[in-house]
Structures are given as structure tokens and as C-alpha cells.
């Protein structure tokens, strides 16, 4: 006979789980959360020293020749290194021969010739199909979609051809040399055709990888790893960051690991996760939280597919709380996948529900774009909310 009586909550068991979950949550003093202590004006001209820096464990810039460049220049360098290393590396897309609309491919045609850096018709489906064919023949095509917002006509080619090519032939053939670059995310005035973040669409596709960089050091190292990877890769480039600032980058080629998140700042009270240009917003929010006594652990996911489950789970198991931020709409954004996995694997460690701070469930509004994407204040309020739960 079924017992339909709702069981009562076991207080002692609940207490044990909470004591086990995280020491920081037990000792945290909520009475210190006084936002009036924060001087919000200083965040109008904030110096993003953390997220624009590099991880010393991954990159040695002290014992190798270096130079300063912005993210656009770093991407150009990565393609140049790849084309110098392998004569089968080819760059093409709309307007790339003269340097592209963002100038990321400047001088590549002059250096490597019209056969290795050339323009294509304005046809994203054709760009993807041509790239898949070249990769199948052993080339390393680096295909550029001028804006990620226009990648959808190529959806069938990417999802049903590139991602499944290896599986359709029993691994006899593959398109592992294929890299697709796409400028993404908001710039403040792009509107609904120049501001989208489409990572969640492609995160649902087994057979491809989805990578996004936040600074010049990452852009160069991750793009080079994408080009050398044995799987087709979609490399998303937050165009707002192209010329945001310059940082120290090694002169020679180097490779950053894919599917490995980066812990930018260690903390004990809240795990804060983001990617792309949201990392700059989150750094400001984390600094605000520090002023009221909240110690956040800040993680840049870097690879969306396949994402670094281990790093995220270890962090949330330690802190017991999590805030996720991304520019894409809230409903079915990639933050939902993170939240579901965290709830599944960290349930007994959680002190509060996972909170997402996302774009709105509407098309990008041209005039009100700055209110659409999560800003530092929205993220800061959610950090306080998850601590006060």
C-alpha cells in the first residue's frame, strides 16, 4: 500500500548536511551586508585587473619574449601562427581579404596570398559547407562568420554535417580541422542583429566544441588550440572586448587547454560563474561584494561545450552557493544547464538555490540594450540574495 503521507523534514539530518556542506556558510555573518558602505561611483571607471590578466600556472610570460596587444591583434596572431605552421591552414569569410570588418584578418592575404586568405559570397550556409568540405579533404579551414547573429542559416551545415561527419562514417572520415570564428555578444548599440550570444544553441550539439575567450592571452592560446583540435570548433569572440585594452602576450605560439575552466579568484562564500564579456561585469560585482564582507570565487568557464564540470562542482561544493551570469536570454540559456548539474551533483552541499542573472526573454532592444544585459549592480544584488537566503 502506498504511503501518501508527506514525510516531515528530519531536522537533525538537515543540520548534519549543512555542517558538512561548507564551513564558510556556517561562519558567515549576514549582519555585515550593508550596501551603503559601497562607493558605487568608482565602478564607473573600474580597472579590470583580474579578468584581463593571465593564469601564471598556464602561461609563462616571464621567461619568453612578449609584447602588448589587444584581443583583435591576438586573434590575428593566432591565425598567422597557424598559417605559418601548416600550409593547409586557410582563412576565408565575408570581407576577410582586406582585414574584415573588425580588422582581425588584416595583412593575412598580403602575407600568405589570395589562395589562403580570401573573400566569400554573403552566404553563411555556403561558408560552412565549403569549410566542411575543405576539412574533410585534410585542410584546416578557419571560417569567419561576420557576426554570430547571422550564423543561423548555417545551422544545418554545422549541426547535421560538421558535428555528425565522424559518426556517419564510423570514424573513417572527420572534419576535425574545422574552426569557425564568430564575433558575438552585445556592444551597447548593436540591436537584435548584432548583439546575440548563441552559445546555448550549439551547446546542445554533440560532436562540436564551443569556446569563448575573455582577453588577448586567452584569445590567442585558445584559438590555436581550437585550430589543432581533432573536432570541429565554434570559437566565439565577444566583439566588445576586441579593443577594450591591451595585455602582455607571448610572441610565439602557445596553447591553452580546452574544456578547462579558469578560477580567476578564489573565495569561500559564493561561487560566481560567467564567460565572455560578462567576466568584466562579474569582477565589478565581486569587488562590490568584498566591500560588504562576501568572499566570492570567480570562475571563467571558457569552454561551453564540453564544459568543465569538475572545477565547477568542486567550487560549489566548497562555497555552498552559486550565481551564474550570461548575456543570452534567461529561458534555456546555458546557465540553466549549469544550474541543473550543480543541483544534481551538489544538492547536499547547497545553502541556497542556484541563481541566474541573464538577458531578458525578448529580442535585443536597440535603445535599451544596456538595460537588457546583466550589469554589475544586478549581479551584486543576486550575490547578496544568495547569501541572505
Question: Strand pairing of 296-300 and 140-144?
Answer: unpaired
Q: Of 316, 320, 331, 219, which is closest to residue 276 (Cα–Cα)?
A: 219
Is residue 174 classed as helix, strand or coil in its secondary structure?
Answer: coil
Euclidean distance between CA atoms 108 and 379, whole angstroms: 40
Spatial neighbors of 4 by CB under 8 A, at least 6 apart, are none
Number of CB atoms found within 10 A of residue 87's CB = 11
- The three-state (H, E, C) secondary structure of 8-31, written as one string: CCCHHHHHHHHHHHCHHHHHCCHH
> Is the peptide bond between 4 and the residue preceding it cis, with omega within 30 degrees of 0?
no
Euclidean distance between CA atoms 301 and 218, whole angstroms: 12
Is residue 34 classed as helix, strand or coil in its secondary structure?
Answer: coil
Contact between 33 and 294 under an 8 Å Cβ cutoff? The reply is yes
Annotated active-site positions, please? 124, 194
For 160, which DSSP code?
A: I
Contact between 209 and 305 under an 8 Å Cβ cutoff? The reply is yes
Half-sphere exposure of 136 (CA within 13 A, CB side): 16
Grid cell, residue 385, equals: 540574495
Identify the bridge partners of residue 363 per DSSP, sorted by sequence position. none
Residue 306 Cα to chain centre, angstroms: 12
Identify the bridge partners of residue 118 per DSSP, sorted by sequence position. 92
Question: Strand pairing of 322-329 and 355-359?
Answer: parallel
Spatial neighbors of 83 by CB under 8 A, at least 6 apart, are 89, 90, 91, 108, 111, 112, 116, 117
Amino acid at each position: 500500500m502506498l504511503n501518501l503521507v508527506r514525510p516531515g523534514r528530519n531536522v537533525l539530518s538537515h543540520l548534519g548536511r549543512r555542517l558538512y556542506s561548507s564551513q564558510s556558510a556556517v561562519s558567515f555573518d549576514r549582519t555585515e551586508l550593508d550596501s551603503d558602505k559601497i562607493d558605487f561611483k568608482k565602478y564607473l571607471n573600474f580597472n579590470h585587473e583580474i579578468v584581463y590578466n593571465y593564469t601564471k600556472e598556464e602561461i609563462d610570460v616571464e621567461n619568453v619574449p612578449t609584447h602588448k596587444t589587444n584581443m583583435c591583434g591576438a586573434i590575428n596572431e593566432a591565425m598567422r601562427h597557424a598559417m605559418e605552421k601548416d600550409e593547409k591552414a586557410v582563412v576565408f569569410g565575408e570581407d576577410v581579404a582586406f582585414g574584415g570588418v573588425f580588422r582581425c584578418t588584416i595583412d593575412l592575404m598580403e602575407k600568405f596570398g589570395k589562395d589562403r586568405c580570401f573573400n566569400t559570397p554573403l552566404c553563411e550556409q555556403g561558408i560552412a559547407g565549403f569549410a566542411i568540405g575543405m576539412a574533410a579533404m585534410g585542410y584546416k579551414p578557419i571560417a569567419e562568420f561576420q557576426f554570430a547573429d547571422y550564423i543561423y542559416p548555417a545551422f544545418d551545415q554545422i549541426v547535421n554535417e560538421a558535428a555528425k561527419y565522424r559518426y556517419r562514417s564510423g570514424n573513417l572520415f572527420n572534419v576535425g580541422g574545422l574552426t569557425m570564428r564568430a564575433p558575438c555578444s552585445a556592444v551597447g548599440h548593436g540591436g537584435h542583429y548584432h548583439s546575440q550570444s548563441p552559445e546555448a544553441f550549439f551547446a546542445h550539439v554533440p560532436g562540436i566544441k564551443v569556446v569563448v575567450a575573455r582577453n588577448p592571452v586567452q584569445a590567442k592560446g585558445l584559438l590555436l588550440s581550437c585550430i589543432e583540435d581533432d573536432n570541429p570548433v565554434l570559437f566565439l569572440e565577444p566583439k566588445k572586448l576586441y579593443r577594450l585594452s591591451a595585455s602582455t602576450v607571448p610572441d610565439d605560439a602557445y596553447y591553452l587547454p580546452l574544456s578547462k575552466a579558469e578560477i580567476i579568484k578564489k573565495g569561500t562564500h559564493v561561487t560566481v560563474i560567467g564567460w565572455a564579456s560578462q567576466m568584466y561585469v562579474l569582477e565589478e560585482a565581486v569587488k562590490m561584494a568584498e566591500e560588504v564582507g562576501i568572499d566570492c570565487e570567480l570562475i571563467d568557464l571558457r569552454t561551453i561545450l564540453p564544459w568543465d564540470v569538475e572545477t565547477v562542482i568542486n567550487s560549489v561544493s566548497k562555497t555552498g552557493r552559486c550565481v551564474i551570469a550570461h548575456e543570452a536570454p534567461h529561458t534555456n540559456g546555458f546557465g540553466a544547464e549549469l544550474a541543473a548539474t550543480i543541483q544534481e551533483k551538489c544538492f547536499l552541499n547547497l545553502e541556497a538555490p542556484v541563481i541566474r542573472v541573464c538577458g531578458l526573454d525578448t529580442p535585443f532592444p536597440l535603445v535599451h540594450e544596456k538595460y537588457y544585459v546583466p550589469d554589475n549592480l544586478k549581479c551584486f544584488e543576486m550575490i547578496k540574495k544568495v547569501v541572505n537566503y
